[in-house]
Structure 1
């Protein structure tokens, strides 16, 4: 079956709260049940669900950009309250590429994004003309901002993160989402082509094995700056413990571990290790 060409249901700017938790599959089932009054599956969720929860949802691929010294990763590791991430997100081998900037200011996330042809990502990041680029003032502003941040930091592809997402959106709020992420895997990003190398994945199961006795589901609650009451009730009812989990930063550490690196060597050294 050919891959669908998915175009994101597009909003270019967000100001939101993102709350992350690690839960087991049984807890995920209970949470899914409890949100049914307030949420519906988003339009990209798999239409034909199997009996296994692990097969729910749709694949997401995010290529994270970083500076030569991995400044964005290090800011997360230090716990800087104000930090930034650059990434290129795709939803299938034929989808558009979403160029995204996530700025964190304390607990609030300011996210901007713009969709372009996936073949144009390097031009966009370098501030060069984008063939068939987006129209509209907001989209052009985001494109310009992405190029500015990438240019100042010298950011290039650093790490590709893939996972399966089961997502729900609120039917009673202007904006609220609940997502469950599974099957997380990472690899060093080789270039701007957004085509990961087959057989080069580092599975997060290796990381979970050092931390827990199970393989958790990553639960995210996303909303405007104040959580709706049903979300507060959900957190309290299931006694959810907030996590600082980062797919990107843990993925960097996992690649280092699997390549036998004892100390942080920087993005270009990671790429060199992959070629050995």
Structure 2
């Protein structure tokens, strides 16, 4: 299932592994120290070393993508539109597929002014304005959207602190904090300040202290320094889907959670 370099370049594809952990904030300085020793801060970070990410997630009326993730199906995917608030950012149309532990992500970088028209109407002129790589990735996104009859469900917004290794071809450490969400059924990335609900709150994560979402990302096998870090701090992998946790955060009545998911839109 591995892609050749040429195939990846054509589709603008990232193929990697992602290991997730919920780590107490008290462990972050030690992890950050390792990240700085083997690499550097993400080049797109703000002065405080972080940047915001906002994603609009799509699903079916029956929330099939949610249930595939919640049940940890071996082959599943997510569809999202991503932007970076506070920056003059284009919009990225992303299909993120997981096959066992392998993550395969295709993304199309499109102008912020064009993405809605492109997604809703497959606008030929907007497609033609894209380079061949982004065009193929956009067609893949739009094809999945219409084939599965997907619609906007929820917006997820969070702060990311990221580091990239200078010792490896591809290895990254990211910390995600202040994860919030709100219901979204329209095809846009706007949000109302008063409607955010917390996703990484201890009540949601079932932890006794504040945590952040740590992700270790790498190609094929984890670098030796990453393995040593996990062993030294005794980190334990934990599934944490921001999309699934966000859907759960919108469902405040546990007794009717499944019925609401299977029967209709979020409250």
Shorter-chain TM-score range:
0.7 to 0.9
- Considering only aligned residues, what root-mean-square deviation do their CA atoms show, in Å? 2.2
| Cross-structure match for 1:122 | 116
| Cross-structure match for 2:168 | 173
Task: Choose from 168, 177, 196 the match for 1:201.
Answer: 196
Question: Structure 2: how far apart are the matches of 1:132 and 1:150?
Answer: 17
CA gap of 1:196–1:233, structure 2 versus 1, over 3 A, is: same
Please give the residue correspondences for 1:96-245 in structure 2 after superposition, counting only pairs within 5 Å.
Answer: 96-126=90-120, 128-129=122-123, 132-133=126-127, 135-204=130-199, 206=201, 208=203, 211-245=206-240
**Larger displacement relative to structure 2 (232-241 or 14-23):** 232-241
Q: Are the equivalent residues in 2 in contact too, given 1:184–1:204 (CA < 8 A)?
A: yes
Question: Structure 2: how far apart are the matches of 1:229 and 1:108?
Answer: 19
| Cross-structure match for 2:79 | 86
CA gap of 1:206–1:25, structure 2 versus 1, over 3 A, is: closer
Residue 78 of structure 1 and its aligned partner are, at CA, apart by 1.3
CA gap of 1:268–1:43, structure 2 versus 1, over 3 A, is: farther
CA gap of 1:119–1:67, structure 2 versus 1, over 3 A, is: farther
Question: Structure 1: how far apart are the matches of 2:39 and 2:71?
Answer: 35
CA gap of 1:205–1:227, structure 2 versus 1, over 3 A, is: closer
SS of equivalent to 1:235: helix
Q: Are the equivalent residues in 1 in contact too, given 2:14–2:105 (CA < 8 A)?
A: yes
Task: Choose from 53, 59, 63 the match for 1:66.
Answer: 59
Unaligned runs of 5+ in 1: 1-10, 50-55
Question: Structure 2: how far apart are the matches of 1:145 and 1:89?
Answer: 16
Task: Figure out how many residues of one structure are paired with residues of the other and give that number.
Answer: 255
Unaligned runs of 5+ in 2: 1-10
TM-score relative to the length of structure 1 = 0.85
Question: Structure 1: how far apart are the matches of 2:85 and 2:16?
Answer: 26
Question: Structure 1: how far apart are the matches of 2:67 and 2:204?
Answer: 24
Question: 4+ runs of 1 displaced by more than 6 Å?
Answer: none
